[in-house]
Amino acid sequence: MATKQAQGIGTLQVVDDAADREFRKLLKEQFPSSWEWEERYVDHERRRIARVFESGILPIADRRVLEFGCHIGGTSIVLASAGGSMTGCDVNEKSLRLAQLNARRYGQFDRLALVRIGDGGMLPFRDRSFDAVVCNSVLEYVKPALLPLVMDELDRILKPGGHVVIYGTSNRLSPIEMHSRRWFVNYIPSSFDGSRRRARGLWPWDVRAGFAQYADVFANRPAADYLRARGEVSTTFRRTVMAAAAHLSVGLGFSPGFLTPWMFAILEKPSASSA
């Protein structure tokens, strides 16, 4: 096993060679067509979702955070490296095994608990257990009939004044379903699917309704705060469009992240005094 010490969020690197070898072996077996992308998933999340917490809008250090639907642990590992006390949960036992190895290879295993959950929507955590809940590219995979229950459960386990982070969620307003890259499938009723359900995004108002009493953090902040947390800096044109949309959305009283193809929002639960 390598003896290098794990470093900060900006310089995450593999530190456990044995775990790395086993991780890559199992990854190729479970994801034969996409293992190369999955292998780099931690670095992908380090460059993206880390910006949300590095922006200063939402602190992570020493907070107890749940990643709902942690997959192979990418987001949880990144946030653990930033000082969060992380719990990742998922319905897939094989994914959790990969998440365990992934955490070991990056030297974050001691800061990350992994829990398997059932597929019925209930969560095995006490009321008000977490300071924040992160939902990264996961809510759109929940069965539609279970989604209200899941959001109720996330509310139950979140402390008053805590935050729900909706990130990387395919938006059904978009003409392209962002995971499958299929055009217009978001606009086709699911009753046309037959025996095999097609991937679709979520309607933003359904997500917002699930946390109806929560404050939309970006709705009352300058547009620059949203852009900094989002990290949309790829091209001048994109920055201009995002800035214009952010200013317009803030002026209308709602968060711009509910309108983008990848949904992004931070929602704050009412404090005990205002609940």
Which pLDDT band, with edges at 50, 70 and 90, does 251 fall under?
low
**Measured distance CA(186)–CA(87) in Å, rounded:** 32
Taking Cα atoms as reference points, which of 34, 2, 39, 47 lies closest to residue 23? 39
User: What is the rounded distance in angstroms from the CA atom of residue 149 to the CA atom of residue 177?
Assistant: 24
Write out the two tokens for 253: 């009283």
| Model confidence pLDDT, tens digit, residues 76-114 | 999 999 999 999 999 999 999 999 999 999 999 999 999
Q: CB within 8 A of 8, min separation 6: which ones?
A: 81, 82
Q: Two tokens at 87?
A: 């719990």
Share of the chain above pLDDT 90, in %: 67
For 16-20, 135-139, 145-149, 187-191, which range has the lowest pLDDT when averaged over its residues? 187-191
Q: Between the CA atoms of 74, 198, 177 and 40, what dihedral angle is there, to the nearest 10 degrees?
A: 20
Q: Identify the CATH assignment for 9-268 out of 3.40.50.150, 3.30.70.580, 3.40.50.800, 1.10.8.60.
A: 3.40.50.150
Residue 269, classified by CB atoms within 10 Å of its CB into exposed (0-12), middle (13-18) or buried (19+), is buried
Mean pLDDT of 142-156: 96
Largest CA distance in the chain: 55
Q: How far from each other are the two terminal CA atoms of the chain, in whole angstroms?
A: 50
CB 147 within 8 A of CB 206: yes
Backbone phi, psi, residue 242, to 5°: -65, -40
How far is residue 105's CA from residue 95's CA, in Å, rounded to a whole number? 15
Question: How would residue 3 be classed by pLDDT, with cut points 50, 70 and 90?
Answer: very low
The tokens for 139 are: 């809510």
Closest CA to 152 of 172, 186, 181, 127: 127
The phi and psi torsions of 22 (rounded to 5 degrees) equal: -65, -40
Cα separation, 25 vs 29, whole angstroms: 7
Q: What pLDDT digit, counting tens, does each position of 184-229 carry?
A: 999 999 888 887 888 999 999 999 999 999 999 988 787 778 888 8
